[in-house]
Amino acid sequence: MASSSSVAVRELPLFPLPDLVLFPGQKLPLHIFEFRYRIMMNTILQSDRRFGVLMFNPNDNSIASVGCCAEITNFHRLPDDRMKVMTLGQQRFRVLEYVREKPYRVGLVEWIEDDAGGKDLHPLATEVDQLLRDVVRLSAKLTDQDIDIPDDIPDLPTELSYWVARNLYGVATEQQYLLELQDTSERLEREAEILTSTRNHLAARTALKDVLK
């Protein structure tokens, strides 16, 4: 197991969120109103400002065992003790066991990283980047809108794989699968499949639109 910290295993407060998967480098704003999570945030703010986000699946009431650590970068207290916090995704982790459940979940977790593997991932990353740009271009053409290519698309393969994964909307189970992968090339290959399918679908719809004009 690779570790991005000198402490490979640690206790971490856990925050399950319905159908939400957090990725490294992703900003996540939260509105904290439940009493137990207000306690959690107040505790976290007195330590290292870090907690774990796990996807909760409301369909089967299950909580994922792999999540992403979030760090509070900014917060604002409201008059009734609710809080608005801005967080940023850090490294991924796997829950080894739950240490306690009340007043909020705390887990013993280990950090996980992608296996470097020694492959040159830049050709695959370039392919994914081009597919992404094709999808944006075709979406703009289909909807007659000016849709700009985001200027924050990362160049590095692993960061790009996280960026693409977090921008897949409405497919939390697929995002969870991508989060759990520990091979950047596997993640990029799966994203290339998804983007190719999306591009082909959009291209067909755009061609049909042109014919019907």
Percent of the chain with pLDDT over 70: 94
Q: What is the DSSP string of 9-28?
A: EEEEEEEEEET----TT-EE
Output the average pLDDT for the chain. Answer: 91
Provide mean pLDDT across the span 176-190.
96
Q: pLDDT for 86-129, tens place per residue? A: 999 999 999 999 999 999 999 999 999 998 677 889 999 999 99
Residues 96 and 109: their CA atoms lie apart, in Å, by: 5
Please provide residue 80's backbone torsions phi and psi, each rounded to the nearest 5 degrees.
Answer: -95, 20
Question: What's the whole-model pTM score?
Answer: 0.89
Terminal-to-terminal C-alpha distance of the chain? 57
The answer on 89 and 36 residing in a single domain is yes
Q: pLDDT for 62-93, tens place per residue? A: 999 999 999 999 999 998 889 999 999 999 99
Q: At which of 56, 88, 112 does a domain end?
A: 112
Q: pLDDT for 6-46, tens place per residue? A: 458 999 999 999 999 999 999 999 999 999 999 999 999 99
Query: Residue 121 contacts by C-beta under 8 Å, 6 or more apart in sequence?
Result: 157, 158, 184, 185, 188
Whether residue 50 is predicted with pLDDT greater than 70 in this model: the reply is yes
CATH at residue 53: 2.30.130.40
Domain for residue 190, yes or no? yes
The answer on 67 and 28 residing in a single domain is yes
Percent of the chain with pLDDT over 90: 75
Residue entry with tokens 């991924």: 92
Domain for residue 1, yes or no? no
The number of domains in the chain is 2
Q: At which of 112, 143, 158 does a domain end?
A: 112
**What is the pLDDT, as a whole number, of residue 189?**
96
Residues 181 and 100: their CA atoms lie apart, in Å, by: 27
Q: What residues form DSSP beta bridges with 15? A: 53
Whether residue 5 is predicted with pLDDT greater than 50 in this model: the reply is no
Query: Residue 1 contacts by C-beta under 8 Å, 6 or more apart in sequence?
Result: 8, 110, 111, 112
Residues 106 and 100: beta-carbon distance below 8 Å: yes
**What is the pLDDT, as a whole number, of residue 1?**
39
The answer on 98 and 158 residing in a single domain is no
Q: At which of 74, 94, 112 does a domain end?
A: 112
140: tokens are 């703009």
Residues 109 and 8: their CA atoms lie apart, in Å, by: 8
The answer on 143 and 95 residing in a single domain is no
Residues 104 and 16: their CA atoms lie apart, in Å, by: 10
What residue numbers bound the domain in which 59 lies?
Answer: 9-112
